[in-house]
Amino acid sequence: MNIIDELTWRGAVNQVSDEEGLRKLTEEKSVSLYCGVDPTGDSMHIGHLIPFMMLKRFQLAGHHPYIVIGGGTGVIGDPSGRKTERQLQTIEAIHDNADKLKAQFIHLFGEDSNITIVNNYDWLSKLDLLGFLRDYGKLFSVNVMLAKEVVASRLEAGISFTEFTYQILQSIDFEHLFAHNDIQLQIGGADQWGNITAGIDMIRKIHGSEAQAYCLTIPLMLKSDGTKFGKTAGGAIWLDPEKTSPFEFYQFWLNQDDADVIKYLKYFTFLNQEEINDLEQTVQTEPEKRIAQRRLAEEVTTFVHGKKALREAQNITIALYQGSIANLTEHELEQAFGKMPTVTVGPEEKDVVNWLIDSTIYTSKRQAREDITNGAVTINGIKITSLDEVVTPHKNSNGRFVIVRKGKKKYTLARVQN
């Protein structure tokens, strides 16, 4: 299957500047293409991941992807999708974020694979004002720039000259990569259409009207209820395991709605058409088993965090579902309970009733005794039945944690302070 046909089947094509020409080009040779990301933060979230999954598909089809980290454009700030001016960051913060994003991409794509990572600060920082205005400013019509949706949507509220020029800088990126790296295709989100086509126009003005440069954008990802994909009550789902643990990441995919899961399998996994069709059948015939959701969670967690992190996420899920956390490791305990209600306790060993009162997990000794007697309290995965039980840290926590469960689902993490 041609890569354009595959992307179309996966629902991953929004607009193409010249579909017939791009299809022919990708069939004739290995094409170099790129997608960019500005280092305005120190991690990507799963919304950022979508176009880079497309890069990965091109890579697997034998093409040569480039990732452009916007160390230069990030200093300016892309106005796309924003109603107000972006708060500018320091150059030092941008460079630090760029290093962290590069490490994420190396992890996702592999250091020795057929992919190149570059930073547009390397060429944009060498521009001088007069050269910028003479060599590039003359190629852009203000009338055309004002008509671009990304600018037009900001005119009422106002847009600075700094953000207004962003599309010129992005166009310079495309022309530079076209001229120096033989890159003929740029891909991006649906909101990048105006910026990318501006780059194609610049390339043809500089290199001639027959220059083969193409644009492919990806649809805005929405859930079946029309809301934005990738956010939860707790905020964005990050790729950085310190921001979103692999367990939380796994749970996000595991809890997707039946109406969305097949779309996400097409977007976010490398399963083939036959496999996804089979999973679609299970959604229709055995929805209660959530086979498709489980496969989605396994595939995406492995891609982003690796097989070891997937096993840990699955161990935690099984332990919580079965109510048996006694054998979880220290790292698994941190992932499972790190964001649950937390108290701090001292290292002194006490009988369970006094410990529960002193930790503030209970405020009534009578209620604590009653719940223990009724078997409603477990500590570190073990049901407490004796009022004389002495509380000690979880056996695998290196003395750091006590995990208390009241009833079936109400957990509290007690951090032991030495």
- For the chain, domains (ranges, CATH) are 3-218 (3.40.50.620), 231-322 (1.10.240.10), 339-416 (3.10.290.10)
At 158, the pLDDT band (50, 70, 90 cuts) reads confident
- Contact assessment for residue 351 and residue 389, using Cβ atoms and an 8 Å cutoff: yes
At 302, the pLDDT band (50, 70, 90 cuts) reads very high
- Contact assessment for residue 214 and residue 200, using Cβ atoms and an 8 Å cutoff: yes
Total residue length of the chain:
418
At 364, the pLDDT band (50, 70, 90 cuts) reads very high
Whether residue 166 is annotated as binding a ligand: the answer is yes
pLDDT digits (tens, 9 = 90+) for 104-124: 999 888 776 688 999 999 999
At 81, the pLDDT band (50, 70, 90 cuts) reads low
At 226, the pLDDT band (50, 70, 90 cuts) reads confident
**What pLDDT is recorded for position 2?**
86
**What pLDDT is recorded for position 234?**
64
pLDDT digits (tens, 9 = 90+) for 227-284: 777 766 667 899 999 999 999 999 999 999 999 999 999 999 999 999 999 999 999 9
Query: Mean of the per-residue pLDDT values for the chain?
Result: 90
**What pLDDT is recorded for position 83?**
72
**What pLDDT is recorded for position 112?**
65
Whether residue 170 is annotated as binding a ligand: the answer is yes
Strands 116-119 and 183-189: unpaired
Radius of gyration of the chain from Cα atoms? 26
Whether residue 186 is annotated as binding a ligand: the answer is no
Instruction: Record the tokens describing residue 350, joined without a space.
Output: 């006490």
User: How many angstroms separate the Cα of 286 from the Cα of each of 278, 289, 291, 407?
Assistant: 12, 6, 8, 30
Strands 116-119 and 214-218: unpaired
**What pLDDT is recorded for position 235?**
77
Q: Residues with Cβ < 8 Å from 409, sequence gap 6 or more?
A: none
31-45, 75-89, 250-264, 295-309: which range is least confident on average?
A: 75-89
3-state secondary structure labels for all residues of the chain: CCHHHHHHHCCCCCEECCHHHHHHHHHHCCCEEEEEECCCCCCCEHHHHHHHHHHHHHHHCCCEEEEEECCCHHHHCCCCCCCCCCCCCCHHHHHHHHHHHHHHHHHHHCCCCCCEEEECHHHHCCCCHHHHHHHCHHHCCHHHHHHCHHHHCCCCCCCCHHHHCHHHHHHHHHHHHHHHHCEEEEEEEHHHHHHHHHHHHHHHHHHCCCCCCEEEEECCCECCCCCECCEECCEECECCCCCCCHHHHHHHHHCCCHHHHHHHHHHHCCCCHHHHHHHHHHHHHCHHHCHHHHHHHHHHHHHHHCHHHHHHHHHHHHHHHHCCCCCCCHHHHHHHHCCCCEEEECCCCCEHHHHHHHCCCCCCHHHHHHHHHCCCEEECCEECCCCCCECCCCCCCCCCEEEEEECCCEEEEEEECC
Whether 80 shows a pLDDT value over 80: the answer reads no
Whether 125 shows a pLDDT value over 80: the answer reads yes
Q: What is the mean pLDDT of residues 136-164?
A: 85
Instruction: Record the tokens describing residue 96, joined without a space.
Output: 């630090």
User: How many angstroms separate the Cα of 297 from the Cα of each of 44, 142, 265, 310, 377?
Assistant: 18, 47, 9, 9, 31
Instruction: Record the tokens describing residue 418, joined without a space.
Output: 């030495």
Whether 34 shows a pLDDT value over 70: the answer reads yes
Which has more pLDDT, 18 or 155? Answer: 18
Query: At 185, which amino acid appears?
Result: L
At 218, the pLDDT band (50, 70, 90 cuts) reads very high
Whether residue 267 is annotated as binding a ligand: the answer is no
Strands 401-406 and 410-416: antiparallel
pLDDT digits (tens, 9 = 90+) for 177-212: 999 999 999 999 888 898 999 999 999 999 998 999
Q: Percent of the chain at pLDDT above 70? A: 97
pLDDT digits (tens, 9 = 90+) for 367-409: 999 999 999 999 998 999 899 999 999 999 999 999 999 988 7
Half-sphere exposure of residue 226: CA atoms within 13 angstroms, side-chain side: 0
d(C-alpha 298, C-alpha 245), whole Å: 14
Instruction: Record the tokens describing residue 267, joined without a space.
Output: 């977007």
**What pLDDT is recorded for position 148?**
81
Among residues 192, 151, 247, which one has the least CA distance to residue 34? 192
At 339, the pLDDT band (50, 70, 90 cuts) reads confident
Which has more pLDDT, 86 or 21? Answer: 21
